[in-house]
Structure 1
Amino acid sequence: MRDLRVLTPDVVDDLVGSCAPCTFWQTVPRNGHGDVRAPEEVLGDWVETVTSDWGAPGRVAYVDGRPAGYVLVAPARHVPRLAAFPTAPGDPSTLMLLTAVVAQPYAGKGLRKVLLQSAAKDALKHHVRSLEVVGARPLAVSKHPCVLDVDVLEKAGYRVERDHPTYPRLRMDLRRVVTLRDEAVAAVGRALSRVPGLRPVPETHPNGSSHAQVTDRT
């Protein structure tokens, strides 16, 4: 059975992948003021804050009831880590795709694409014109696992908005994709059907040491 649920504070423990639980995007750089609380507590509070101000900041994918991956989306004003990137947007209301993480057993089987498509679908519900993301090029040193690769983003339909040798900012212009909402719904179903086990900088380097799943339930 497949399931793609909205991210709420009570499912923060279900975030999986190479750096979960991870608070990379929710915390300031290393030389800033750190948060001594447990990652799960920091994430839970962040999800609650973003949900109250804007809406659920992502989705969690499950395969046969088990957490398989997640995607995070939030306005820039709720993403402290952006301050460490040279291509951070100047507008705090800019909607940012933060990451799309898939657990190892499902890597390379299309689930990340499903999560990226669901992020675009959810962005449309907020009537925004675009969805932006800071990606990493091969030249990026000590890239954090939660920073998506540029080639992955470009294959998903993102285009470079502000270039940079290591951390460019990319954008998906939702105004140009008139039928994206319907296409995303159909694509999610098609992609999931192919996944085995599923049924129908300024001075500071952006890296940090903090460590923070289809029925469409909205």
Structure 2
Amino acid sequence: MSTSVTALTLGGLDQLPAHTRRCVFWEIDPAVAADSREFSDPVFEKEAWLSTVMLEWGSCGQVANVDGKVAGCALYSPPSVVPRAALFPTSPVSPDAVLLTTLSSEFPHRDGDVAHRLVQAVVADLVRRGVRALEAFGIRNDPPTKAMSDRTVGSMRLMERIGAPARGVRSSECAPETCMIDADFLEDVGFEVVAAHHRFPRLRLELNSDHGWKEDVERALDQLLAAAALTAPTRIGV
């Protein structure tokens, strides 16, 4: 199989996986999402948000393709433009970090290297742009040692705060369990917990130190430079 990862562009928003195009878990203020008078079309809202971020900040996504078919994506941006980023018990995101909000891989590629390739592409892009760190809110299952009644009540209260689905989007589509990144995976690829929580830890990947991605980042940067050289206009001598 041939896997490629490319930066998301304004003209390529329709390349995002179906769930990602409809999911506004991160991008829309829960209060707005709960008001049907202000929110009705999740696809429109998601594309409007992505367009605004790309125009004002630059690239904010990577899309993976396997044999020409979309296999996954990653989305990231300054936390200041992510309304839900301020609502977690482990908020706020560090002022020097970009927030990774979405990392998804489509069936049948969920057990492959697509997610790792996407993280590599995000890291390469941010290193090139001089970003110091990448952070993410991970999600964990409640620990079995905690009383079931405490877990249930605590989870319900926290879900009411951060997990209310948007109108027009089924709750199974827009919820922490389907829209957040597994904390164990984040740790596996080098993130470290900087704000602990039994359910929603905040993790950080330093981009200005040797975090195990150096060779992958350098390889990705070399590929970007090679692609730029191929597309650069030939200078005609006078």
Task: Specify the SS of the correspondent of 1:128.
Answer: coil
CA shift in 2, pair 1:114/1:183, >3 Å: same
Q: Percent identity?
A: 31
Is contact 1:97-1:131 (8 Å) kept?
yes
Q: Tell me the residue number matched to 2:32.
A: 33
Q: Partner of 2:22: helix, strand, or coil?
A: coil
Gaps of 5+ in 1: 189-213
Alignment-derived partner of residue 152 in structure 1: 185
C-alpha spacing 1:161/1:179, structure 2 compared with 1 (3 Å): closer
**Structure 2 length-normalised TM:** 0.70
Matched, 1:166 2:169: no
SS in 1 for 2:176: coil
* Structure-1 separation of matches of 2:186 and 2:100: 10
For the pair 1:177 / 2:177, whether they are aligned, the reply is: no
Which of 48, 52, 77 is the equivalent residue of 1:49? 52
Please say if 1:8 is aligned against 2:41.
no
Distance, in Å, in 1 between the alignment partners of 2:192 and 2:5 is: 26
Corresponding pairs, count: 190
Deviations 1:95-131 (A, max 9, x none): 1111210111111011111111111111112211111
Alignment of 1:196-211 (within 5 A): none
* AA of the residue aligned to 1:82: A
SS of residue paired to 1:113: helix
User: Is the Cα contact below 8 Å between 1:69 and 1:100 reproduced in 2?
Assistant: yes
Partner AA of 1:110 in structure 2: D
- Identify the range of structure 1 (36-45 vs 105-114) with the bigger mean alpha-carbon deviation: 36-45
Aligned residue runs from structure 1 range 107-146, under 5 A: 107-139=110-142, 141=155, 143-146=176-179
Q: For 1:152, what is the secondary structure of its paired residue?
A: helix
Q: TM-score, normalised by structure 1?
A: 0.76
- The change in CA–CA distance for 1:174 and 1:166 in structure 2 (over 3 A counts) is same
Instruction: Give the secondary structure class of the aligned counterpart of 1:145.
Output: helix
Match of 2:24 in 1: 23
Q: What value does the CA root-mean-square deviation take over the aligned residues? A: 2.8
Cα contact 1:59–1:71 (8 A) shared by 2: yes
1:103 aligns with 2:136: no
CA–CA separation in structure 2 for the residues paired with 1:20 and 1:128: 26
**Unaligned residue ranges in structure 2 (runs of 5+):** 143-150, 156-174, 229-238
Post-superposition Cα deviations, 1:27-79, rounded to whole Å, max 9, x if no partner, equal 112xx012524222212211121112211111111122211110011000111
Answer with 1 or 2: which has the greater Rg: 2
Residue 112 (structure 2) pairs with residue 79 (structure 1): no
Q: Per chain length, whose mean CA-contact separation is higher, i.e. which structure has more relative contact order (CA < 8 Å, sep 6+)?
A: 1
For residues 136 and 22 of structure 2, what CA distance do their matches in structure 1 show? 21
SS at match of 1:59: strand
